[in-house]
Amino acid sequence: MHFVARVTTEGGPDFVATHERIAVFDNDGTLWTEQPYYNQLAFALDRVKELAPAHPEWQEQQPFKGVLAGDPNAVAQSGEPGLIALLAATHMGNTTDEFAAIVSRWIGSARHPRFERPYTELVYQPMLELIGYLRASGFKIFIVSGGGVEFMRPWSERVYGVPPENVVGSRARVKYELQNGKPVLQRLAAVDLVDDKAGKPVGIHQVIGRRPIAAFGNSDGDFEMLEWTTSGDGARFGLIVHHTDAEREFAYDRDAHVGRLSRALDEASKRGWVVADMKKDWAVVFPFQK
Amino acid sequence: MHFVARVTTEGGPDFVATHERIAVFDNDGTLWTEQPYYNQLAFALDRVKELAPAHPEWQEQQPFKGVLAGDPNAVAQSGEPGLIALLAATHMGNTTDEFAAIVSRWIGSARHPRFERPYTELVYQPMLELIGYLRASGFKIFIVSGGGVEFMRPWSERVYGVPPENVVGSRARVKYELQNGKPVLQRLAAVDLVDDKAGKPVGIHQVIGRRPIAAFGNSDGDFEMLEWTTSGDGARFGLIVHHTDAEREFAYDRDAHVGRLSRALDEASKRGWVVADMKKDWAVVFPFQK
């Protein structure tokens, strides 16, 4: 990458000191697959099934009824209130340690509906190589995702080499308290940050505290992160993963319900953002295809 | 430190992998001096003087009137409403870049009222050495302070070697927006996190995402951080800096208005927290005394 050469050439006009080489990556659709629906939604659906025996009322209540009947569209049809009810029932009311254990157990056993592999194998080989290349060039790698931060942290280090402290995401409010004399962080039924769209620069500021010099995304949810990153002074880099390969992965952009890409695609050229065409540019999509 | 030997001895029962060696340090009173009042309050008082020409009404309004009259007790007397008014007038309403520039300018020129030195020279030599020792032992060092995160980040890397992304602190809400076509993060007149007391484990969770194994504080504001850190499994370490040296620095604990230390001192022994007695244990307090 010409950009990396520019920022790492000591004495050059665009040189950036190691400690300021911050690169941010969206997760869903940028580092791992997000179709036919967010993997975190698959987690929520499975969690409903797991919790159902203790909730007989769900047999008659949407979106739970639809989930239990094996209808993945039930949630979509119940709209935002349904999604919030689903999130509250499956993501809240436990401690951070309990939730991390639930996520770890799920991610170790769940399989993607189409590829029938663990979700953590459905990561993009070219992006893993890109992360490795940037890391070797002195970059600090952060994930900045609309997905839940506590949904990613239990496995981000193992899968991407990105430790929990380098993961920024949407989050629930938590409360420090003693339970049976033991301190815990209890997850409350309240959203603390929606780390998407204009929330991404906010999340970056809260957790990282400086403006990245490189950003990688795939949807309009990444627009502001790309804009914030690439409008700074000096050499900047923005890249959009364009999902164009229905055969090896999925093909979607403007009309997608998940990972909609329209405005960012329209403005990419004007703003100097690179568009990676999955079908044309990627020799391999997933590591298991190597 | 026996603790460090335990967690770094490969194959030993208490070994902790490098990536999990997280140490958290309070800032005010733990890494730098916090008397006769928080350095950030000194910043606010100076900022009032700087902004006063544009605010003729402050000549008759407390706490501004008292500040402008050179009475450092004016703020204390105006209570919490006064403090909030002061914070709003001096800390809000600009962009994150503007605020960082204001802090950098101030920290480079302001002098401590007693020591007549830059605040960044009033850091504790033994704590700097401790940070260096832990870093050399594979620890990741984070600051977790009740002070404003944007007040610390502009100088934390230079002074402590702690980069902005490793600083957790209280913070204002920020909003991403375009100003004259340029993206900025605007600081709003609303508090997003009070990173003190039970807010410290919350801040740690939000930004770091895992429980530290070592914590360093000096006041009851650090109680929950110490409790959260040292109640985890395996080897843990907690330390309290006890300010006992009125001659070289300050002596205060139970009756202090700033940095009150009472409950944490009472429970230190029971909880296995080390109490460092500044007068007895520190050969040198500040680097310039070396």
Which positions in chain B touch A172 (Cβ < 8 Å)? none
Q: Do B39 and B28 contact (CB within 8 A), yes or no?
A: yes
Residue B167, pLDDT > 90, answer yes
pLDDT 10s digit of each residue in chain A, 290 long? 789 999 999 999 999 999 899 999 999 999 999 999 899 999 999 999 999 999 999 999 999 999 999 887 777 788 888 888 898 899 988 999 999 999 999 999 999 999 999 999 999 999 999 999 999 999 999 999 999 999 999 999 999 999 999 999 999 999 999 999 999 999 998 999 999 999 999 999 999 999 999 999 999 999 999 999 999 999 999 999 999 999 999 999 999 989 999 999 999 999 999 999 999 999 999 999 88
C-alpha span between B20 and B34 (Å, rounded) = 30
Which positions in chain B touch A177 (Cβ < 8 Å)? 198
> How distant, in Å, are the alpha carbons of A96, A189, B118, B253 from that of B112?
42, 45, 6, 21
C-alpha span between B141 and B217 (Å, rounded) = 14
pLDDT computed for residue B40 by the predictor: 95
Q: Is B39 helix (H, G, I), strand (E, B) or coil?
A: helix
Which positions in chain A touch B207 (Cβ < 8 Å)? 165, 206-207
Q: Which are the contacts of A262, defined by CB distance < 8 A and separation ≥ 6? A: A220, A253, A254
pLDDT (tens digit per residue) in B189-238: 899 999 999 999 999 999 999 999 999 999 999 999 999 999 999 999 99
> How distant, in Å, are the alpha carbons of B76, B81, B143, B214 from that of B264?
24, 28, 19, 16
Q: Is B171 helix (H, G, I), strand (E, B) or coil?
A: strand
Report yes or no: A153 at the B interface, CB cutoff 8 Å: yes
C-alpha span between A129 and A119 (Å, rounded) = 18
Query: In chain A, whose CA is at the least distance from the CA of B208?
Result: A165
Of A132, A206, A209, give the one whose Cα is nearest residue B203.
Answer: A206
CB-based contact B149 A209, cutoff 8 Å: yes
Report yes or no: A176 at the B interface, CB cutoff 8 Å: yes
C-alpha span between A250 and A242 (Å, rounded) = 10
Of B255, B212, B257, B259, give the one whose Cα is nearest residue B240.
Answer: B259
Q: Which helix (H) or strand (E) holds B240?
A: strand B237-242
The overall average pLDDT reported for chain B is 95
What ipTM was predicted for this assembly? 0.95
pLDDT (tens digit per residue) in B5-59: 999 999 999 999 998 999 999 999 999 999 998 999 999 999 999 999 999 999 9
pLDDT computed for residue A79 by the predictor: 82
Report yes or no: B98 at the A interface, CB cutoff 8 Å: no
pLDDT computed for residue B251 by the predictor: 98
C-alpha span between A39 and A107 (Å, rounded) = 10
pLDDT computed for residue B75 by the predictor: 73
In order, the DSSP letters of chain A are -HHHHHHHSTTSTT---GGG-EEEE--BTTTB---SS-HHHHHHHHHHHHHGGG-GGGGGSTTHHHHHTT-TTHHHHTHHHHHHHHHHHHHSSSBHHHHHHHHHHHHHH---TTT-S-GGG-B-HHHHHHHHHHHHTTPEEEEEEEEEHHHHHHHHHHHHS--GGGEEEEEEEEEEEEETTEEEEEEEEEEEE--STTHHHHHHHHHT-S--SEEEE-SGGGHHHHHHHHTSSS--EEEEEEEE-TTTS-EESTT-SSS--SHHHHHHHHHT-EEEEHHHH-S-SSGGG-
User: B262 pLDDT band (50/70/90 cuts)?
Assistant: very high
Residue A147 dihedral angles phi and psi, to the nearest 5°: -65, 165
CB-based contact A164 B210, cutoff 8 Å: yes
User: Can you say whether the dihedral through the CA atoms of B204, A149, A168, B233 is positive or negative?
Assistant: positive
Report yes or no: B271 at the A interface, CB cutoff 8 Å: no
Q: Which residue carries 């690439």 as its tokens?
A: A230
pLDDT computed for residue A135 by the predictor: 97
Q: Which are the contacts of B233, defined by CB distance < 8 A and separation ≥ 6? A: none
Beta bridge partners of A211: none
B268: closest CA of chain A, how far (Å):
17
Which of B176, B182, B224 is opposite residue A202, by nearest beta carbon? B176
CB-based contact B205 A163, cutoff 8 Å: no
Amino acid sitting at position A35: Q
Residue B83, pLDDT > 90, answer no
pLDDT computed for residue A10 by the predictor: 94
Q: Do A169 and A225 contact (CB within 8 A), yes or no?
A: no
> Whole-prediction pTM value?
0.96
Q: Which residue carries 């504001």 as its tokens?
A: B221
Residue B74, pLDDT > 80, answer no
- Two structure tokens written together for B260: 């009150």
pLDDT computed for residue A40 by the predictor: 95
